[in-house]
Structure 1
Amino acid sequence: MSDVLLTPPDAVEVQWVARGVVSAAQGEQGLTPLQQLLIPALFLSLTGHAVELDALAPITPVEYAQGLTRRNRIFRERVVQTMLLAALVVRPLPACVGEQLRAFADALDVDDEMISVAQKYADGAEDLAAVDFSRNGYLSGLGTGRLHALHTSELDSSWSAVVDDPVLAARWGELRELPMGTLGRGVADFYRDRGFVTPGLPGSAPPLLAQHDWVHVLAGYGTTLENEIEVFAFMARANDDPRAFSLLAMVISLFETGYLRAGAGLFEANAGHLRSSGMAGRLGDALRRGALTRGSHDFLDLDFFALADRPITVVRNEIGLTPKAEAAVSAGSVGPWQPGGITPFQLNSARVAAESEARPYIPWQPDPTRD
């Protein structure tokens, strides 16, 4: 199409896009309180334009799609993902919403695998939805490139742990010898301060999940469950592959609705965290920061060890990482070494780990300059 519109949406088009999101995601009783917080927060963060929900009249899928005919597939895919995100925070999800999501996606000529997950949630088939996550997500396969980035060849599945690999454990251990201020040293301290076990040793997280720990340090997010939502939102949106949205859908299903009982080889359901004060805006800001990175970044398929000896500031500059919005910081978005960026359980785990290894215990200390 010669007249494809590639400029950011203006205020008028933002209202149109939001109109379709509301029409697709709301049940017969209207939007839930969380949806009423989340949808405006997403649009304000991602477009800079405010939306007034009361002014958004319902619209049919066909009429809606006609208003987006100048937008390319990438734009329409992101619109459908916004619809999905607005719907996946609801439990129980009304059956009509599952049908609406499919109808709007079909009208926009978008096929997102998470629509099937949403429909299964709406049908009460949560176990089948969990199978869809493992079978249809973009992490369902293990290519040689991904295994190379993880520095292991022992994985049976994407989220398998590696608990007896001295070479892998030694590679992680070498990060402690790097200078302060480097990305690798930051990750080593991040693990020490929380009592986390590095891949290759008993009790460790899966190597693939450990990849996202580098992102905590790189993007400046702590390790509460609210921070986990931010990290996975950032990673999902920084990746131009639309299938990466399944990462965000997974953590929402774990840490907001509890649709998933477990995920990513380690996480267990702990619902209600998106309802925490200010979290709607923090989620929107994490998506914004991911969208504004330079290029496309599959952080779960990146050999972080190749960047380990580089200053964090340099790596951040190279990917075009933007600062957090002041509103997100005011709402509680903190880094790994800022007050509130660590849990009491993790603090205790670090003490116990030091005692069990007969090494000096170095207490975690707030140090905002590291974030």
Structure 2
Amino acid sequence: MRIIHPDDRQTAAIVQAMHAVATAEGGIELLPVERDSIAAIQRHLLHRDPPIEPAGRALPADLATVLDDPVMRCQTVRILAMLPVIDKRVMPAKVRVVEDAAERLGVEDQGLAILRQAVKGQYRRLAFGLMMRSVAHYWSPTGKARLRDWLDMLRIGMPAIPGLYGFLTDRSLLARYEGLGGRPHDSFGYGIWRFYKDRGFPIPGEPKSFPEGWSKHEAYHVISEYETSLQGEMLNAAFSGGNTEVLCMDLLLLTLLQFQAGIQVMPGPCLTDELRPDAFFRAVARGMATSVDLLDGWDLWTVVDLPLDELRRRYHVPPLSPEERAWLAANKALLA
């Protein structure tokens, strides 16, 4: 996502548009989690604290006039696209308001395509699209899903066959990652190695490991300081979605669908009511402020020797406040 700095008039229009979506233009009362989410979006994504109340609950008639910048228009539609999922129902009436706003603003975005599939209950199609894009940008180093990348998926799902497993070990890649354990203990490379070791995750090159490209996901954890607990994974997805243009709405909408709405889209945990709006949208904002997109040609190996604190400074990662650290620790979401 991109950082925007709306002026007072633009902020008022975006806030009214958010209320229009969440209430289906006045037809439905806001849930507490929706009200908290709109307030958190104002604080962290619109830089408005204290939050303001809307002038009405219909889409502003002058929305397209007030929001005249293409980047602000796109980011507004992305914000609006998250709101119908928060009530856990993905109601057609709310999605229609998002579609109306997008049409007025002349925006077509991946988030709209995902939302259309979700409101129709087309979760298999949604999952297939998410998987295709994830394999291309997370698993593959080329940005396109190759046959080799799909074969890697089959490898991970295979039962343990000792002789075959030895054949599947990529010894040179494994040695490269194991070598990170010899880096200085304050380095980013050592932090990655320790992340794998402390959690018992297979290191790239091992038979049951994810492809090396998936190490970008682990790098997000290390850089953002969000743990691999359920709440930590939700916040890491929020940080990642905020950081990247490549899979922005895939990451944000998938985690809201699967961790808030309780809709099983992809394999893995499926929960309801996991969203903590202030922490979630703060994580999105931290990812947005991070100046290097880890999914856009970033190479982990160019920075493995940098001290981790220095890497965060270079990338302009907003530090966690003592209060945030305390909350994250209490919720088992702070990286140990």
Same fold (TM > 0.5): yes
Residue 242 of structure 2 is aligned to residue 237 of structure 1: yes
Separation in structure 2 between the aligned mates of residue 243 and residue 102 of structure 1, nearest angstrom = 20
1:211–1:300 CA contact under 8 A, matched in 2: no
Alignment correspondent of 1:57: 56
Partner in structure 1 of residue 171 of structure 2: 166
Q: 1:74 aligns with which of 65, 71, 75?
A: 71
CA distance in 2, matches of 1:90, 1:297: 30
Q: What's the counterpart of residue 272 of structure 1?
A: 272
Residue 41 of structure 1 deviates from its aligned partner by: 0.8
Is the Cα contact below 8 Å between 2:43 and 2:51 reproduced in 1? yes
Is 1:188 aligned with 2:184?
no
**1:340 has 2:336 as partner:** no
2:318 paired residue among 322, 331, 342: 322
Within 2, Cα distance between the matches of 1:153 and 1:175? 29
* 1:212 and 1:300 in contact (8 A); partners too: no
1:196: Cα distance to partner? 1.0
**Aligned match of 2:150:** 156
SS in 2 for 1:257: coil
Residue 90, structure 1, aligned to residue 87, structure 2: yes
Contact in 1 for aligned 2:117/2:126 (Cα 8 Å): yes
- Mapping 1:179-328, distance limit 5 Å: 179-239=184-244, 241=245, 243-262=247-266, 268-272=268-272, 274-275=274-275, 279-294=276-291, 296-299=292-295, 301-325=297-321, 328=324
Contact (CA 8 Å) 2:231, 2:333: kept in 1 or not? no
Aligned to 1:37: 36
Judging changes above 3 Å, is the alpha-carbon distance between structure 1 residues 328 and 65 closer, same or farther for their aligned structure 2 residues? farther
Alpha-carbon distance in structure 1 between the residues aligned to 2:4 and 2:94:
30
Instruction: Give the Cα–Cα distance (whole angstroms) in 2 for the partners of residues 236 and 300 of structure 1.
Output: 13
Q: Which residue of 2 aligns with 1:15?
A: 12
- Helix, strand or coil at the partner of 2:141: helix
More deviation in 72-81 or 58-67?
A: 58-67
Deviation at 1:216, TM superposition (A): 1.1
Alpha carbons of 1:299 and 1:33: their partners in 2 closer, same or farther (altered >3 Å)?
same
Alignment partner, residue 164 of structure 2: none
| Structure 1 contact 274–280 (Cα < 8 Å) conserved | no
| Paired position in structure 1 for 2:21 | 24
- Could you tell me how far apart the structure 1 residues matched to 2:66 and 2:80 are? 16
**Letter of the aligned partner of 1:31 in structure 2?**
L
Deviation at 1:243, TM superposition (A): 4.7
Once the 2 structures are TM-superposed, how far is the Cα of residue 126 of structure 1 from its aligned partner? 2.2
Give the TM-score, by structure 2 length.
0.82
Contact 2:4 2:72 in 1 (8 A): no
Percent pairwise identity: 19
Relative to 1, partners in 2 of residues 1:243 and 1:80: Cα closer, same or farther, differing over 3 Å?
farther
TM-score by length of 1: 0.75
SS in 2 for 1:245: helix
Q: Which amino acid aligns with 1:82?
A: I
How far is the alpha carbon of 1:140 from its aligned partner? Answer: 6.0
Cα distance in 2 between the residues matched to 1:26 and 1:199: 47
Counterpart of 1:176 in structure 2 is 181
The amino acid that maps onto 1:333 is L
Q: Aligned equivalents of 2:81 and 2:70: distance in 1?
A: 16
- Superposed CA offset, 1:174-194 (max 9, x none): 111111000011111111111
Q: Deviations over 1:195-253 (max 9, x none)?
A: 111122133234333311112112222121211122222222223x2652322222222
CA–CA separation in structure 2 for the residues paired with 1:253 and 1:287: 16
CA distance in 2 between partners of 1:132 and 1:147 (Å): 18
Counterpart Cα distance in 2 of 1:226 and 1:143 = 21
Residue 242 to residue 58, structure 1, CA distance change in 2 (3 Å) = farther
Please list every run of 5 or more consecutive structure 2 residues that lacks an aligned counterpart in the other structure: 157-167
Give the Cα–Cα distance (whole angstroms) in 1 for the partners of residues 188 and 247 of structure 2: 27
Contact 2:238 2:252 in 1 (8 A): yes
Task: For residue 329 of structure 1, report the CA deviation from its aligned partner.
Answer: 3.4
Q: Summarize the Cα distance change of 1:159–1:48 in structure 2 as closer, same or farther, 3 Å threshold.
A: farther
Gaps of 5+ in 1: 1-5, 344-365, 367-371
Structure 2 CA distance for aligned equivalents of residues 210 and 74 of structure 1: 30
